[in-house]
Structures are given as C-alpha cells and as structure tokens.
Structure 1
Amino acid sequence: MAVALVCGGVVYTVGERHEDARARSVAPQTPGGSQSTKPSKTAAAVAALRVAIDTILLRRAQAVQTGNEPLFLADIDPANKKLVAAQKVLFANLVEIGFTELGYSQAEERFNPAVLQAHGRTTYLVRVLMRYQIPKVDITPVTTELGYTFVSQAGRWVLTDDDDLDNDLGPGAHQEAWDLGRIEVLRGPRVLVVVEKGDTKRGRAIVTEASEGLAEVSAYWPRKWRGSVFVIALDETNVRDARFADEDIESAASAGSTFSSLPGQDTADGTVAGAYIVINPNERDRVDEILLSHETTHVATADLGGYEPLWLAEGAAEYVSWRGIEAISGPGEVGKWEQDVIDEALPAMSSLPDDAGFYQNSTDVYGVSWLAVRYLVQRLGLDHVEDLYEDMAMHGTDQASRDRILLSRSGLTEATLWTSLQTYQPQR
C-alpha cells in the first residue's frame, strides 16, 4: 500500500522510498570512486517531513516544561476526540510528575499495512524515544519508547494515534505510570509514590512504608546509595515491564530497570540507569517496609550493571529485608525460617538456583538464595559480600566471569558454595 508524504508539493510513497534507497545503494560512481551526492526530490521531501515532526516533538516537550496545555494539544488530530481526551490526561500527569529534563526524538519509521489502511495515504508511523529525568529519582536522564502515527491534513502534520506500535515496541513501552490514566503524586524525602487520582490515603501510607524500607536498606546494606525510590501503585496489571496478570501474578512487587540507553540502541543489553518499583494491584493494601526494603535493595544496586546471578541479587534483597524483620521481631523468627530452609528447601535442590526458571521454580529459591548470602556474610563479612556483589553486577557477564569473581573474592565456586551450605551450622 502506498503511503504519501506530502512536503512542499512532493508526494513520496513507500514504494518510491524503497526505490530511492535502492538507487542510492547502486548509484553511479564518479571518476574519483564516490557516489553522486545530488539530493533527489524525494530525499528532500523526507528531510522536510522529519523537520516537521521534530518541530512537533519539540513543541510537546516545551509544553510540558512550561505547563502549556493548548500548545501540547495543538498538533493532535482534532477529529480524534478519544485521543484528545487521553492526551489531556497525559499532559496533566506529566506536569504533575515534574521533569527536570524532557525531550522526544524520532528513531526510525515503521510500516504497518493495517495502520496505513486505517489512516490513509499520508500516514507516517514512527518510533519515538522519550528521554526524561525525574528530579531526585533519576540520577541520569533515562529513555523509554513510544509509537506515534502522524497524518497530513491540509498541509500540516497532526498526531492521530499513539498506540499503533505498542505491540512492536520493547517490554513496558507506553506503559509508564503517566500513560495509564490520571495519577496522583505523593512525595517524601527520597520517596516518590504514584497512585490513582484521589487515592491519597493509600499513597500516603505507601510513602511512610517506603521511607522505612529505604532506611532499612541504608542501615543493612553497605553501599552508600544516595538515590530515591519511585513506587508505582496503580490498579493496573501491566505497568512498565511488570505483568502481574501473567507469569508474575504471585509477585507482590517488581523492581523494573530504567535505561539511559535502551537495549539495542547503542549496545545489545543497553545501559541500566536505575529501577522503579511497581506494586501488584492485588497487594496494594498489604505493602509494608519489609516488602519495600527488599525491592529498594534492587533499586539501590540496579545501576551497577545487572550481571549478578539471581541467587545473589535476590539473596541480598532477602538479607536486607530479614534484617529488618529481625530488628522488629528478634532473632527467633529469622532462626525459624533459616532452619526451615535448611530442613526443607535445601534437600529439594541439587545446586544454587539457576537464572533460567528462577521465578517459576516452586522450591523456595528465595530462601536458598538468602541462606547462601547469610553464609557468605558469616564467612567474609558484609562489606566483602557487598564488594563481591558490585564486582559480579558490573563484570559477571557470563558464567566464566562469575566463577572467576566468586573464586577470587571468596575462595569458593558456585559448586563448593553449594556443598558448604549442606553442612552449614547457623550462628544463633
């Protein structure tokens, strides 16, 4: 199906764009060996189109930063009343979050026959990168992605849809907290909580619990992390990359990574900048500092790289949360669970929990991971375990690297660590 890009009177179809690209790839060589650089009319049309879309994206960012709703809505297709209403909600949410940095940029054009059929010959479907920074939450600007559909109307481009590409984008794209209905933002020192508009009481309670959880991480994990906690507690099962309606239905919360560079943008894995906590909507009334100290440990270590094995990541988070339990209830409850892990979970396994299938494992992999970290703390000391964690998170890109780091820092391999757990006698 042809797609016309109307710029300065030039109609540039999908087929012509492909032909133009092919022609450039086999363009005649000049005597000096270089290709002819004379721009085609179609190339000029594409350049004009991209300038027009860039201008719209700049206006949208400027509108949020200046609180100018009419400017934000100026480039929306007025015939799409549903989109206009949704964009009003989005604008209010973005202003309420309050970004220190916000920008939108075009990535690459996409083609979808169904979208073209729905919107007509002048459709331009493009993946857009949203780069932003939330004050006191994002230490560095981070990136998420969107899919925008533009059409040309009476000589100007307007946004006519913002979800046509959702199924083709990365996990969690167009599922940020501000994308999912009107929100309310509540703040505490180093804590930001998002709930539905009007859910103020619940939001304040979560701010209190998150603040206590953050204090436990500061007390029980050696890394001097100065970041803040962003907690999203909405009545939504799909938020960011947390999909509680699917495999994570049993999880009470999830700490999902943020990226300063998305996977595939500059490197295959991307660059992790931090993490946000998303609460399972079914667990919002049971959120406490123990749960949030676990998730905040993940947030406090997220920017290290994320290459540590899951048994170490989850074991460290459980270590911090159970230190909090011990501070409240005394050592008896901790000792009871430790003995349960030794008596029941260890015999059901033959090695440390593997990354593959970790979260689907019916055995108490969290308990075994916690026991392994407890053992390492007693053997090495907490500061050395934290150093081990950082080294693993930054450099444990494959099993050989993990084995080398663990052996050099503890004198153990994963196999000998597992063997040691079989004869582990806890210090009571």
Structure 2
Amino acid sequence: MPPSADPPGAQVPPHGPRRWLGLLVVVALVSGGVVYAVEDRQQDARSRPAATVTPPAPPNQGTKPPSKTAAAVAARRLAVDTILLRRAKAVRTVNEKMFLQDVDPANAKLRQQQKTLFANLVELDFTEIGYSQAEERFDAAAVREHGASTYLVRVLMRYQIPKVDETPVTTELGYSFVSRAGRWIIADDNDLDKDLGPGAHHEVWDLGRIEVQRGPRVLVIVEKGDTRTGRAIVAEADEALTQVAAYWPRKWSGSALIAALDDTEIRDARFADEDVESAASAGSTFSSLPGQETADGTVAGAYIVVNPKERDRVDEILLSHELTHVATADLGGYEPLWLAEGAAEYVSWRGIEEISGEGEVVQWEQEVVDDALPGLYALPSDLGFYQNNADVYGVSWLAVRFLVKRFGLTLVEALYEDLAMHGTDQANRDRILLSRTGYTEATLWLALKDYEPQR
C-alpha cells in the first residue's frame, strides 16, 4: 500500500511561515508533513501579541522619587529575570539544586515535574539555553489559586541542540510567580498554556522522562527505557537520510530530531483522535517566532513527531517523506502544499521503487490518474488540504512526477526553492511557475488532466 494511502503525514497540522501551527493559535485539524495553511499565517500573527520584552523603566531624570508601584514593578522584574538566568545556568552546570531553588517548596507535584524537566534538559546537552520575559499576562483563575501577588508572564526559551539546530531556536511557555515572605518563587508552569500556541509547553522535554539515542545525523527521543525502539528508529533514519540525499538534489547536510513518545500531543502534532491515521508529522522550529520580530517569523528547521500508534512500524519510507520536509524547512515555507507534499512523496516513492521495482510505482501512477484526478477540479489548495477526502497526496505526487519528467529533477528542486522563498501569494506563485516551466497552477492542472502515463 502506498505511504500516502496511510499518508506519512495526512492529518497533523501545518507549520512554518509556511503553515505555522506550532506556536500560534489553535487550529481545528492536524495535518502531516508540514503544518498550517499559508492563508492563515498573517491572520494568526496579527491575532497574537508581539513577543516583545518590556524594557525596564528609564532612570528617574527629575527630583521626584519613583512611586512605590514603579519601584515594586522594577524589583519584581529584576527578581524574575534573576530566577530565569539561574534556571538556565543550572542546566548548563548540571545543578539540580539550583534549578529547584526558586520552585515553590510547598508544591510537591510541581517540584517532581521540575526534577523530570531538569533531567530531560540535561540529557539533551544544549549548546545554548536561556529564558527571558516577554509580556505580562493575566488569568483570574490563577490569581484565585495562587493569591493576589500572582504575576503571570510569557517566557521565551531560546536553545540550541547540538548537531540538530543549525542556529538557536525559540519556543514559548508561561510561568506563574508569587511573592512569599518577600521572595518571588515559581508557583506553576501551566496556567498560561491555554493562551499560548498549541505547541507551547509540549516540547519533547516537557512530557515525562525521556531517553536520547543518537546517530551520525539523527537524534531520536523515546520514553526512558525504550532503548530498542530508539535504536531501531536511528537505523531507519540513517537509511532514509541516504534516500533523501539520493533523490532530492538540494545539498542538505543537516541533522534531524525525531520524537517517538507515548504522548499524543507533542509540539504541534495532535494524534489524540481515533480517526487520525497520520503516521508522523514534521513541524517547524523558529529562530524568531511569528510576531516576535516579523509577522511570519523565521523558520530555522523542523522536528519530526511519530504517532504513538505507529511507533513500532516506523521505516525508511515513512522517514524519507518526513525528512524531505526537514531538509526543505529552512527555505522560507511559502511553497504551495501540493508541491511540499508532492516532493516528499516523490522521494519516498523513489525509495519504494528502489525496493520493489518500477512496477508498483507505475501501477500507483495509473491509479492516481484513473481514480484521484477525477475527484478534483484543480491542484489541491492550501486551504483545507489536510481535510480533503480526495487523494491529495497522490495528485500532489503526480504533479511533481509530471514536472520531473518534463523538466528534470534539478529544475524542479530550483522551482521549489524559489517558491519556498518568494511564493507569498498566488500572483507570485504563478509568476515563478510560469517563468520556470511555462505553466501556471491552473494550466499545470489542465496538463495533468490530459496526462497519459508512458509505459
């Protein structure tokens, strides 16, 4: 059965500027290989407050002393900044006592969770890690729970995992601080979760004790003790990386993070629904979050998350699809979804052809022409791509295969890069397609409708 029949990423949400789900607002549906529709990204960025850090109050220029309120706010900010600096230092120096120093001593559950978090962070051996305050938030329920001094703040965590992140990347979380006996402490770390992006506070280190298995160009994260699964996925990923290098001409020499945990909600991937058949999802990482410096943010790369139900069936075909997304993630994210998913399917089907021979690929090509094309009226659009009951993966693959046959893989890869960087709207997409192939999306669809596979 082709990987797109049980698609490598069929119903897990889109991401990036491309389809950035992971750090913005909740979307209704989870898609596969990449994430969040292009049409949504600007609306999302506008709906989310910019992640600017409030500057400290300027020094008093006159003779009037600052108010008690201003002084208290400044003191609180300094105390919280100190706590955040101390937490980062504790991870870098592997000092659990320092990490727990500012956690509510009366909250045994939170302290145990923080111990687990600390162990996970240390296990990942970050090249860089730091925390900074973004904007203050308010939540009445949190104030009722923790008291009148409650201070809720969105926190930006900036980190770099060695041999995975080419550049430091940023994620977000929320902390609740309270003042007790003249000292600020962390009272909770999830009061703001519902107001953050769906990937916030669902990073791999947030979800229970983990184990890390490493290969030359892959880092696999599994549940603590699940060594066999971790090593098996490393082996399959090594094979998949070879396929991506062989069948996609971009010279990508990066590494990949693959999470295969029990949790059904990791980063922006949602596998909780019983009807979600997606085996894995690749979701973007950001060096600058959407709304932080620009509306779209800056994509740094992508991490792969495996559906817990599919963890024991992960193979090189599935991973070659997802790794194609990882290998193209940092290009910009503006390519149409039919091209993003079609390219990933193209690579995975070349792997199938290598294993099973040309016959199976030729058979599926004919099935797409006979069965899938008649169910659509145009190339699959970004809007509703992952909700479409038609075989949008098959049609996307056919479109890429069609272009490769006519123009060669090198030109198609160059087209992909151009669209990923500059295809910000339909006019630009058609301009780029027309200049490189002579087609617009509309005329490419008409050509596909008349396409007769050659034997």
Q: TM-score, normalised by structure 2?
A: 0.85
Specify the alignment match of 2:292 in structure 1: 265
User: What do the CA deviations read for 1:91-142 (whole angstroms, capped 9, x no partner)?
Assistant: 0000001100000000011111110010001111111000000001000100
1:45 deviates by 1.6
Q: Percent identity?
A: 76
Distance 2:62 2:281 in 1: 52
1:335 partner amino acid: V
Specify the alignment match of 2:342 in structure 1: 315
Identify which range, 94-103 or 245-254, moves more after superposition: 245-254
Correspondence 1:233 to 2:272 = no
Correspondence 1:250 to 2:285 = no
Contact in 2 for aligned 1:242/1:248 (Cα 8 Å): no
Specify the alignment match of 1:305 in structure 2: 332
Correspondence 1:368 to 2:368 = no
Specify the alignment match of 1:412 in structure 2: 439
1:106 partner amino acid: Q
1:250 partner amino acid: E
Distance 1:103 1:421 in 2: 50
Residue from 64, 83, 101 that aligns with 2:91: 64
1:247 deviates by 9.3
Residue from 108, 115, 131 that aligns with 1:104: 131
Alignment map for 1:28-47 (pairs within 5 Å): 39-47=66-74
Structure 2 residue matching 1:264: 3-state secondary structure? coil
Specify the alignment match of 2:310 in structure 1: 283
1:43 deviates by 1.6
1:36 deviates by 10
1:296 partner amino acid: L
Specify the alignment match of 2:354 in structure 1: 327
Distance 1:46 1:322 in 2: 59
Distance 2:328 2:440 in 1: 23
User: What do the CA deviations read for 1:357-415 (whole angstroms, capped 9, x no partner)?
Assistant: 11111111100000000010111111110010001001111111111111111100111
Distance 1:255 1:245 in 2: 17
User: What do the CA deviations read for 1:6-48 (whole angstroms, capped 9, x no partner)?
Assistant: xxxxxxxxxxxxxxxxxx9xxxxxxxxx999964332222111
Distance 1:37 1:132 in 2: 42
Distance 1:217 1:151 in 2: 50
Specify the alignment match of 1:9 in structure 2: none
Structure 2 residue matching 1:255: 3-state secondary structure? strand
Distance 1:71 1:246 in 2: 40
Specify the alignment match of 2:16 in structure 1: none
1:248 deviates by 7.7
Distance 1:247 1:424 in 2: 37
Distance 1:247-1:109 versus aligned 2 partners, 3 A rule: farther
Contact in 2 for aligned 1:258/1:276 (Cα 8 Å): yes
Correspondence 1:128 to 2:133 = no
Structure 1 residue matching 2:299: 3-state secondary structure? strand
Residue from 389, 401, 404 that aligns with 1:377: 404
Specify the alignment match of 1:347 in structure 2: 374
1:353 deviates by 0.4
Specify the alignment match of 1:195 in structure 2: 222
5+ residue gaps, structure 2, are 1-56
1:269 deviates by 1.5
Distance 1:385 1:228 in 2: 23
1:423 deviates by 2.0
The ranges of structure 1 where at least 4 consecutive aligned residues each deviate by more than 4 angstroms after the TM superposition are: 34-38
User: What do the CA deviations read for 1:146-192 (whole angstroms, capped 9, x no partner)?
Assistant: 10011111111111100000000012100000000000000001000
1:358 partner amino acid: F
More relative contact order, 1 or 2 (CA 8 Å, 6+ apart): 2
Structure 1 residue matching 2:105: 3-state secondary structure? coil
5+ residue gaps, structure 1, are 1-23, 25-33
Distance 1:240 1:164 in 2: 17
Distance 2:416 2:179 in 1: 53
Specify the alignment match of 2:235 in structure 1: 208
Q: Which structure has the larger Rg?
A: 1
Specify the alignment match of 1:5 in structure 2: none
Residue from 207, 211, 226 that aligns with 1:180: 207
1:427 deviates by 3.7
Alignment map for 1:128-167 (pairs within 5 Å): 128-167=155-194
1:213 deviates by 0.8
Structure 1 residue matching 2:302: 3-state secondary structure? strand
Structure 2 residue matching 1:257: 3-state secondary structure? strand
2:98 partner amino acid: L
1:173 partner amino acid: A
User: What do the CA deviations read for 1:323-342 (whole angstroms, capped 9, x no partner)?
Assistant: 01111111001001001001
1:322 partner amino acid: W
2:269 partner amino acid: A
Distance 1:403 1:276 in 2: 30
Distance 2:326 2:415 in 1: 17
Specify the alignment match of 1:28 in structure 2: none
How many pairs were matched up?
397
User: What do the CA deviations read for 1:64-113 (whole angstroms, capped 9, x no partner)?
Assistant: 01111101011110100000000000000000011000000000111111
1:245 partner amino acid: A
Distance 1:269-1:247 versus aligned 2 partners, 3 A rule: farther
Residue from 356, 379, 402 that aligns with 2:383: 356
Specify the alignment match of 2:197 in structure 1: 170
1:246 deviates by 4.2
1:425 deviates by 2.8
1:364 partner amino acid: D
Structure 2 residue matching 1:301: 3-state secondary structure? helix
Specify the alignment match of 2:450 in structure 1: 423
Distance 1:114 1:76 in 2: 20
Distance 1:416 1:345 in 2: 18
- Backbone CA RMSD of aligned residues: 1.7
Residue from 115, 130, 138 that aligns with 2:142: 115
